[in-house]
Each structure stands twice: as C-alpha cells, then as structure tokens.
Chains A and B, each alone.
Chain A
Amino acid sequence: MMHHTTKAIIKRELKSYFTTPLGYVFTVIFLFAIGYVTFEPGRGSFFVMRQADLSSFFRYIPWLFIFLIPSTAMRLWAEERKSGTIEFLLTLPVTVPQAVLGKFIAAWIFIALALLGTMPIVFTVAYLGKPDYGVIFLGYFASLLLAGSFLAVGTFFSAITKNQVVSFILSVVFCYIFLMAGSPPILETLSTLFPKYMVSLFEELSILNHFESMGRGVVRLSDLWFFGAMIVGWVYASMSLLDYKKAN
C-alpha cells in the first residue's frame, strides 16, 4: 500500500531519531516539561484540582507542541538542503511526494512515540480515581492530530529555506496564528476590521477550538475534516514547493 521508497525513508528517518542526540533531547524535554506543568503547583495543578481527568495535562499539549514540533520539523528538509543530501536523496528513484510523505510520517510516528511516553499520567489517574477513558483516548487522538497539523506546517517551512532557524521561527509563528485564530483578543481585533462573516471564517481555522472540543470528549466530523485538511493541505503544499524548487 505504501511505496517501498516511502517505507525505506520512514525507516531511515525513524532510526536517525534514535541514533542522534536530537531525538533524545526532544523526548526528554517534552516528557519532563509536560510532567512538570501538569503537576506545577498552582491553581490549575493536577494535584490541587483532584479530578481524575487529564484536562490539566492536555491543556499544555498545544503550548509545548508549538515549540517542540517546529523544532523537529525544521530539520526535515532544511538540513537536507544545507548538507546537500537532498541532492543525493532526490536523485534516487523516488518521487518528491514519496519522499515528503516518508519524512512526514516518520516524524509523526516519532512524536506518537513521545506521546506514548506520557502513559504514566494515565496510570496515575487510574490509580487515583476513576477516569473517563473515552475522553482520555480522544484527548490523545486529538493531540496526535494536532501534532500532525503542526508537523505539516513545519514541513512546509522547512522546505522553504535551508536555514533551520528561519524555518523554526516561521513555523512557530504560523502554528501560533492557527492556534490562536479563535482566541478572544484576535477575534476582537478582527471584528473591528472585517465583517462578521470573515471573523467567523477565521474562527473556524482555530486549531485550539477543534483541539479543545475533542478534548472535551466529543468528536465532530468537522473536527476531523479540519485536521485532515490542515495535514493534507500543508503536506501537499510542501510537495508542490519542493517540486517547484526543482524547476528554479
């Protein structure tokens, strides 16, 4: 079902997460940070709320992902471009879409593995009380889709430049815009400039709204469609961009 080249790239990329420090740095920072903020002593702290749900865990997922995922995504193409290996890779009998897909899926699997590393929190709530496993499952599923969307955005900006820092900053900015599209201050500003229809259109783009909506335990077709469109759209854009760069 998947092309052998895509499989080979997934395999290679995944392995490189385990043979280079980067993968470990990412995983350790992510796991430590999410554990820390979940338990962070404060009003919203997990142990202060004393509710056996993962809301104080999932609340921070977008804010960690917004930095960590662009930092994984930035190297996908920018590094290939910088070290010149892109020339080696794309002169192998592989099409650009196959290569983009392979790298994207590998990074996605890697983040899924990092998410899997947060399992202790599930065991924690299971030990402390009676959590709603359906909601937890959906929360993880939504996190995965969120990661996919950020990764797709990051892939695109990684393909645009060979400078990893530029790629990182651009992806963070764009992820932030998508994350905050539905936030009150932004909508407030927009509503003074644009007609109501435009504002509600903008609100629909909010990743956070879709993510939180799923985090509450209900998934609508429009949520899935949104994440699907985000992922497919940005990945497709990355493919076109790389193809286009070939011609220039």
Chain B
Amino acid sequence: MIEVSNLSKNFGNIKAVDDVSFNVNIGEVLGFLGPNGAGKSTTMKIITCFLKPSDGDVKVAGHSIHEDPISVKRKIGYMPENAPLYEDMTVVEFLQFVCEMRNIDLERRPSSIDGVITKCHLENVKNQSIETLSKGFKRRVSMAQALIHDPEVLILDEPTDGLDPNQKHDVRALIKELSNSKCIILSTHILEEVEAVCTRAIIISSGKKLFDGTPSELSEKSADRKVDDVFRAITTSLDVEGVTL
C-alpha cells in the first residue's frame, strides 16, 4: 500500500532522512521508533505530502507523491504531532469543514461525522469549541478528522503522547480495532506501545533505518527480552549487556 523508496531529506546540511526504504501493506501496523529528531516525523510529513523529499519517492496506493499529491492525500488520514486544530471551531464545525475539504457527499456527511464521533467517544463535547477541550479530547478530535473519510492509510504521529494511561488504552484499542482493514503507520518513542499494537517496527536514528522487523524479533535480541536495551543498543551503537544484534 505504501512504498517508500530511497527517501532522503536534507535541511541545509543536516540529513534528516537518509536513504530510507520500506513497504507497508494493509493489515499491518507499522511502529516508527527512534530517538527525538531521528527523522520519524519528517518521513511522515513527506508521505503525507506536507514536505517534499530531496530524493527518492513514495507511492501510496500506486500514486506518487511527486506526480499526484492530491490523490495521495485523499488516500491518507493523517494525525499530525500535537494534534493541531482550528481552536475557534466546535468539534462538529471542524469535522464538517474536513468533510467539505475532502468533498464527502452531502448525504453521507452526517453519518460520517456521527460515525467518527462515536468511534472517538466525542459525543459529550461535540458542540464545544475546540479551545475549551482537554488535551485528550483534542487528540481524539484529531483522530476523528483523520478517520472521517474512512481512509485506507492512517498515519499517526505520536498519537498517545501526553495522554493519561486510560486515554492511552482507549487509543490503542481503537488502533487495534482499525488495523484489520487499514494500513497504519504510527510513530512513538514508547516501546511498550510497539509491542502492544504494532505488527512491525522500524527503528530510525539520524535519518537512517536501523531495524525493520516484528516487535518480537526486536525483543528476542535481548536475553531478558528487554526492548529498552535493544533500542539503546541499536540507536547508540554501544554495547549493551545482554543484547546481541
């Protein structure tokens, strides 16, 4: 579904993404792991056509981000980091705006909006203006806008960052629920999350892809099945006790 090939992105002299390639298919939940500033978000922004790569290409459902970014964007539901939203709008107004932007049929709009409101548990706040919502609700609104057109590809940039344990649980449950029919990429630096929801994990650091495999493959590298240790060993290339790469 997503084919990332030889993707590179330079910001001035800094190589944020360096020759990264991978594919993701429907049914897969890909966890993007890496330290802060590793290039996770940049890669996601390139896939969602917010940034243009310096080199390489991404194809989403066969559409290249260079040739047909609009079709790419149509296929994708994207939840940006920190869930930026138009705060002056109410939840419903906001979702309506997204419907208009995504040109969802007029008749289907109410059902789409109601659907995501139920899915993301927004019933009680749907008529509040977004600025009055708590962080957790804002995430859910952001999740709702990403789901509203029932996209095949879902890209979530740190979807559980800053949430309390219950909220995290809810989000993970939702991701699991969606994972059968969709192709999902999510970025995180919480390693348990990968084990909890992902079918596959990619570790990048300094723009380079360092690991690509299932979470269990990752944990098997440590004698004590300590994923933390494995992560540290991979991203810092230091010798960590009990880890064999």
Contacts and interface: CB of A to CB of B under 8 A. Distances in A.
Interface of A: 4-5, 7-9, 11-12, 15-16, 19-20, 83-88, 90-95, 246-248
Nearest to A95: B70
Interface in B96-120: 97-98, 100-103
Contacts of A8: 97, 100-101
Interface residues of B, number: 33
B84 A85 contact: yes
B84 A88 contact: yes
A94 B50 contact: no
Contacts of B74: 93
Contacts of A92: 73, 98, 101-102
Contact of A91 (B78, B86, B89, B97): B78
Contact of A5 (B11, B50, B101, B145): B101
Contacts of B70: 93-95
B48 A83 contact: no
B51 A246 contact: yes
Given A15-B93, A93-B71, 11 more contacts: A5-B103, A12-B89, A84-B80, A84-B84, A87-B84, A88-B78, A88-B84, A91-B76, A93-B70, A93-B73, A93-B103
A87 B51 CA distance: 9
B126 interface: no
Contacts of B82: 84
Contacts of A88: 78, 80, 84-85, 142, 145
B168 interface: no
Interface of B: 11, 45, 48-52, 69-71, 73-74, 76, 78, 80-82, 84-89, 93, 97-98, 100-103, 129, 142, 145
Nearest to B97: A12
A34 to B, nearest CB: 27
Contacts of A246: 50-52
Contacts of A12: 86, 89, 97
Top 7 A-B pairs ranked by shortest CB distance? A84-B84, A8-B100, A247-B52, A93-B73, A91-B48, A85-B84, A87-B80
Contacts, number: 77
A87 B50 contact: yes
Given A87-B45, A248-B11, A94 B51 contact: no
19 contacts: A5-B100, A8-B101, A11-B97, A11-B100, A12-B86, A12-B89, A16-B89, A20-B88, A83-B84, A83-B87, A84-B81, A87-B50, A91-B76, A91-B78, A92-B73, A92-B98, A92-B102, A94-B101, A246-B51
Contacts of B145: 88
Contacts of B100: 4-5, 7-8, 11
A16 B97 CA distance: 12
Contacts of A11: 97, 100
Nearest to B155: A91
Contacts of A93: 70-71, 73-74, 101-103
A16 B80 contact: no
Nearest to A84: B84
Instruction: Count chain A CB atoms within 10 A of each CB in B81, B88, B103, B142 and give the residue with the most.
Output: B88
A8 B104 CA distance: 12
A19 B88 contact: yes
A87 to B, nearest CB: 4
